[in-house]
Amino acid sequence: MEGSKSRVKRKRLAVFVSGGGSNFRSINQACIEGSVNGDVVVLVTNKHACGGAQYASDKGIPVILFPKTKDEPGGLSSDDLVKVLREFEVDFVLLAGYLKLIPVELVRAYPRSIFNIHPSLLPAFGGKGYYGMKVHKAVIASGARYSGPTIHFVDEQYDTGRILAQKVVPVLANDTAKELAARVLKEEHKLYAEVTAALCEDRIVWREDGVPLIRSKENPEEYY
C-alpha cells in the first residue's frame, strides 16, 4: 500500500523527556530512517541539562522547558506550553520518561493524541510511586514471570489511559532489577517506534467498547 502511505501527511511529533532519552533517540532515528512518517519537531523537558535535551540540541531539534520551577525558572506555564505546541503544529505528544504530571490544559488541547510508555504490563505495577527501578524491583519481588512495556493514551487521570500496545518479556529466576530493566528497555525502543509508525499512518482504530487497536500494515483486516 505504498500509495496510501504517501497520501498521509507527515506528522509532527513533540517528545517529552526527563532523562537520558533513549526512547526519544530511537523514535527520532526511526523518523530519520523513514520507518516513521513523521518528524520530532520539538523536545519538551523539565531538566534542561538532561541527556535527552542535549541530544536534541546536537540534532538541531528545539528544546522547550516545562514546567517553571525553582530549579528551572525559564520553564513555561501550562497555557504557554499549549500555545507553543500549537505554533509548532504538533499532531502527537509522546511522553518518553517524562516524570512530571501532564497538565489538564494539555490533555484537553490534544484529545486522544498524547501517549506514554511505561516499563511494566499495565495495569500491574503502575500508578503513583511506580517509576524507574522501583517498577522492576516490584515485578521481581512479586514473583511475576512476565513483564514488558505498555504504551497507553494519557487522559486526565494518572496512568489510567487506554492501553494501546504491549510487549511481553520473560522475568528470569535470577534477574536483578537492572537486568530486567535492560531487557524491557530494548523492547520499549522497538515498540515505541512501531506504535509511532502506526500513529503517523493513521492506523489507530477505536473498537465499539472504547478500546484502541492498531491496524496491521501488512493486512488491513488484522488488528493488534
Ramachandran assignment for 118, one of left (phi > 0), alpha (psi -120 to 50 degrees), beta (any other):
beta
Binders of ligand GRF in range 22-61 (CB under 6 A): 22-23
What ranges in 21-169 are assigned the alpha helix state H?
22-33, 51-58, 78-87, 104-109, 133-142
Phi, psi angle pair for 70, to nearest 5°: -60, -40
Letters for 138-177 (x = contact with ligand GRF by CB under 6 A, - = none) are -----------x----------------------------
Binders of ligand GRF in range 69-98 (CB under 6 A): 96-97
Q: Which is nearer to ligand GRF, 53 or 106 (CB)?
A: 53
For residue 147, give the amino acid letter: S
Residue in 223, 224, 212, 192 with CA at minimum distance from that of residue 111: 212
Residue count, binding to ligand GRF (CB under 6 A): 14
Which residue, judged by CB position, is nearest to ligand GRF in the bound state?
Answer: 97
Residue recorded with cell 509548532? 88
Give Cβ neighbours of residue 1 (< 8 Å, ≥ 6 apart).
Answer: 217, 220
Instruction: Decide: is 185 part of the binding site for ligand GRF (CB under 6 A).
Output: yes
118 included as an active-site residue = yes
From 40-48, 53-61, 71-79, 115-123, give the range in contact with ligand GRF by CB under 6 A: 115-123
Residues annotated as catalytic are: 118
User: Which spans of this chain sit near ligand GRF (rule: CB under 6 A)?
Assistant: 17, 19-23, 96-97, 117-119, 149, 185, 188
